[in-house]
Homo-oligomer: A and B are copies of this chain.
Amino acid sequence: MTDIKAAANPLFLRDEELRQGIELLFFAYRDFTAEGDAILDRYKFGRAHHRVIYFVGRHPMISVSDLLSLLRITKQSLSRVLGQLVREGFILQHPGPRDRRQRLLELTPKGRELENLLTEKQRCRLAAAYRMAGAEAVEGYRNVLLGLIDAPDRLRF
């Protein structure tokens, strides 16, 4: 009559290990995103605006369709958020030089300022975690997360 928990049951240990890994991801994501939300409230923006500002900042002159596939949302969802950001002067749209149907997106100085404000918090938090964990841990963090990402997008890194 072996106690399934007390015994060094490899399946039990594995399950516990994996559940902890799941929860770490959940809590880390929750706390990592919570900080920026407070700032966004002041602009009457939400997390969706943050994501758009981030990726447009990261990929200047990105096309709408490329942005859509990064975010994995519909154009109708994007258009509400993007429309606000354009109207309020955080993002500029340029006709594509080769394909004039495109609207290539770019941050204005005002947009860059907000992007910096938002991302700086996150960079600080991540930098602190990196420092505490050490360089080797950072490689591990990267490799495990990479393995969680669907193959197509994995190539980005």
Give the segment of A82-90, A94-102, A105-113, A126-134 that binds chain B: A126-134
Q: Residue of B at shortest CB range from A137?
A: B140
Interface size grouping (class) on chain A: 35 or more
In the complex the two chains form, is A140's CB within 8 Å of B133's CB?
A: yes
Decide yes or no whether A30 CB sits under 8 A from chain B. Answer: yes
Q: Residue of B at shortest CB range from A125?
A: B148
Name the distance in Å between A71's Cβ and chain B's nearest Cβ.
9
Assembly CA distance A21 to B137 (angstroms): 12
Decide yes or no whether A43 CB sits under 8 A from chain B. Answer: no
Interface string of A134-148 (1 = CB under 8 A from B): 101111111111111
Decide yes or no whether A32 CB sits under 8 A from chain B. Answer: yes
The 8 A-B pairs at the shortest CB distance, nearest first, are namely A140-B140, A129-B147, A137-B140, A141-B144, A133-B143, A28-B148, A24-B145, A28-B145
